[in-house]
Amino acid sequence: MELTKIHTDFPLLSRKVHGKPLVYLDNGATTQKPQIVIDAITDYYTEYNSNIHRGVHHLSQLATEKYEVARKTIQQFIGAQFSHEIIFSPGTTSSINLVASSWGRANVSADDEVLISAMEHHSNIVPWQMLCEEKGAKLKVIPMNDNGELIMEQFESLLSSKTKIVAINHISNTLGTINPVEKIIAMAHDKGSLVLVDGAQSVAHMPIDVVSLNADFYVFSGHKLFGPTGVGILYGKEAILNEMPPYQGGGDMIKSVSFEKTTYNELPHKFEAGTPNIVGGIGLGKAIEYINEIGFDFIIEQESQLKNAATKMLESIEDVKIIGQAKQKASVISFAINGFHPLDVGTILDQLGISIRTGHHCTQPIMDFYNIPGTIRASFAFYNTLEDIAKLRAGILTAKTMLS
């Protein structure tokens, strides 16, 4: 695979920022889009824009077909058994809220427990907090060690017959930790608990097989997967989804409506009320076709090289401390520079054309754990290069000189 060829697949990567060539290291927040995804979006609006699932006319048939092909592409991408287990949503946050609201309200009662971890994104904390408050249930937190790894012994002792669901991220967006979700799922199932995996940070970086993981729910966003914003996925096991009450009412999710009684549509439409993000779904399908072409062998090798080089580079700079030193770690690197506010460093790097993220990354409990105001985070995708890392190094040195 030619890296220069890959670079040209992403038109935005060749732009300049503040007059300098862009160094894009904020892939944990969102990834850039390959030309074929951008073309798919244009193609939809110029060639066959129409509403899906109902129209008898040609364009509606065409749009419906493309949307459903995308669903199948996504199904195969994560190894789901059926395409109706793939529910389109506006994103990871919406997918989690759907489960917390629909499954949660029907299955969690007073004195039950919901288990999350100390390194969850706010999106995988707040919906469960709201559910627990409403039901009088308890939210319990699996602690982590100083390296940013979950303490599995503590997880084991927190699990009990009261645990109804464990909601855990596959990869931490702040620390880069790859959590042992397969083991977590097996342990939770032993106690009769379900598991929801927040895959927002994992799907673009490693192959996922929801069947071999045995995940009950697996959720992710399209825009972190080289697809458009505003579209995401909820995967759920057929039997569980069938048992769940609908989440939102409206068009597309019904079988028949009278003022006395409404019967609901079958999966996946039961959870897809209203006109969906049609172009988003089609664009996401294209993005996955693109990833399939690149292949995870290449992605994993490239990102592991970037992670190792960036780690080594950061360790060589005085006063830099990497936050999150898990043994199993993805290409997401948070760091702090002793004596400097992350926002100041980020502001200088931005002037140099380097896009990194600063702040708490929607994980305030992690900042409290390390007692820091925020971190500077560089998160890589397979299109990043060793040259990007050299530029980051030069940028950090400039920032240190200017701010000292």
Residue in the block written with tokens 């997918």? 95
Q: Of these, 104, 276, 281, 374, which contacts other proteins (CB under 8 A)?
A: 374
The candidate with the shortest Cα–Cα distance to 23, out of 397, 402, 374, 394, is 394
Q: Of these, 82, 373, 386, 390, which contacts other proteins (CB under 8 A)?
A: 373
Query: Quick one: 105 or 360, whose CB is closer to other proteins?
Result: 360
H-helix or E-strand spanning residue 69: helix 58-77
Task: Give SS3 for 263.
Answer: strand
Determine the distance from the C-alpha atom of residue 376 to the mean position of all C-alpha atoms in its chain, rounded to a whole number. 19
Query: Quick one: 186 or 402, whose CB is closer to other proteins?
Result: 402
Selecting among 126, 130, 206, 362, the annotated active-site residue is 362
Query: Quick one: 39 or 319, whose CB is closer to other proteins?
Result: 319
The Cα-based distances of 173 to 27, 201, 292, 382 in angstroms read 10, 6, 23, 17
Report 142-201 residues binding other proteins (CB under 8 A): none
d(CA 319, CA 176): 21
Contacts within 8 Å (CB) and 24+ apart, 250-253: 250/274, 251/275, 252/53, 252/54, 252/276
Query: Using alpha carbons only, what angle is made at residue 393 by residues 223 and 397, rounded to the nearest 5 degrees?
Result: 125
Report 301-360 residues binding other proteins (CB under 8 A): 341-344, 347-348, 351, 358-360
What token pair was written down for 37? 């995804």
Query: Quick one: 4 or 338, whose CB is closer to other proteins?
Result: 338
| Shortest distance (Å) from residue 403 CB to other proteins | 6
| Shortest distance (Å) from residue 359 CB to other proteins | 5
Number of residues this chain uses to bind other proteins (CB under 8 A): 15
Report 385-404 residues binding other proteins (CB under 8 A): 402-403
| Shortest distance (Å) from residue 339 CB to other proteins | 10
362 is catalytic: yes
| Shortest distance (Å) from residue 341 CB to other proteins | 4
| Shortest distance (Å) from residue 375 CB to other proteins | 11
The candidate with the shortest Cα–Cα distance to 102, out of 40, 153, 165, is 165
Q: Which sequence positions are flagged as catalytic? A: 362
Residues within the interface to other proteins (CB under 8 A): 18, 341-344, 347-348, 351, 358-360, 373-374, 402-403
